[in-house]
């Protein structure tokens, strides 16, 4: 695995330092989440993430993929899921995000995250963005997903069309 550990460690430490336990409790209750929050607002989480991404550029598709998955799968708090999704969407890595092989990353985020706060953005922006790479291939995949037993894959098959005309 070629995940950028420095990026992961820095973003984790910076978010932990900004955490607000009272807000964290409220966020967790609102989301009905078993995963705890640090108590960092989404705008602040995004700002920290972007600063850290700029300081730790990723050199290859493999490093980007592995870092996204390591952030997501290694998350101890929900904000780190949001950072993983932000990294997957970040403009510097659009070329990587638009590769059809990235669907397996998004599928992992969707099936393992399995809640609207992580699935909806992944579906609309990341999965939906893959239609520009190969609409025919993606249409076939989303037709499969539309009848999949996994609720969140079915939801994605609908939401991925939101930004298409």
Q: What's the pLDDT tens digit per position in 93-108?
A: 999 999 999 999 999 9
* Range of the structural domain that residue 161 is part of: 100-165
Domain boundary among 54, 73, 97: 97
Question: pTM to 2 decimals?
Answer: 0.94
Q: Of how many residues is the chain composed?
A: 165
Rg (CA), the chain: 16
For the cut 90, the answer to whether the pLDDT of residue 164 exceeds it is: no
Asked whether 102 and 129 are in contact (CB, 8 A), the reply is no
Tokens of 7: 């990026």
The number of distinct structural domains making up the chain is 2
The predicted structure's pLDDT at residue 1: 63
Does 6 share its domain with 28? yes
- CA separation for the pair 145, 88 (Å, rounded): 21
The pLDDT tens digits of the residues spanning 55-114 come to 999 999 999 999 999 999 999 999 999 999 999 999 999 999 999 999 999 999 999 999
Does 75 share its domain with 41? yes
The enclosing domain of 52 has a CATH number of 1.25.10.90
Phi, psi of 70 (to 5 degrees): -65, -40
- CA separation for the pair 58, 5 (Å, rounded): 11
Query: DSSP code of 149?
Result: S
- CA separation for the pair 106, 123 (Å, rounded): 8
Domain boundary among 59, 76, 97: 97
Does 87 share its domain with 16? yes
Does 92 share its domain with 110? no
Query: DSSP code of 124?
Result: I
Does 18 share its domain with 89? yes
Query: DSSP code of 34?
Result: S
The better pLDDT of the pair 88, 163 is held by 88
Q: Of 106, 97, 83, nearest to 9 (Cα)?
A: 83
């Amino acid at each position: 695995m070629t995940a950028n550990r420095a990026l992961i460690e820095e973003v984790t430490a910076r978010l932990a330092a900004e955490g607000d336990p009272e807000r964290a409790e409220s966020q967790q209750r609102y989301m009905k989440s078993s995963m705890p929050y640090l108590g960092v607002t989404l705008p602040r989480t995004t700002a920290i993430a972007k600063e850290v991404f700029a300081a730790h550029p990723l050199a290859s598709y493999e490093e980007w993929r592995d870092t996204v998955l390591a952030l997501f799968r290694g998350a101890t708090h929900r904000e780190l899921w949001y950072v993983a999704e932000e990294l997957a969407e970040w403009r510097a890595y659009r070329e990587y995000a638009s590769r059809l092989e990235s669907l397996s990353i998004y599928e992992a985020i969707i099936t393992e995250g399995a809640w609207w706060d992580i699935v909806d953005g992944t579906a609309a922006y990341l999965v939906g963005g893959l239609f520009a790479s190969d609409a025919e291939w993606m249409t076939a995949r989303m037709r499969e997903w539309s009848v999949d037993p996994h609720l969140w894959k079915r939801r994605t098959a609908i939401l991925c069309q939101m930004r298409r005309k």
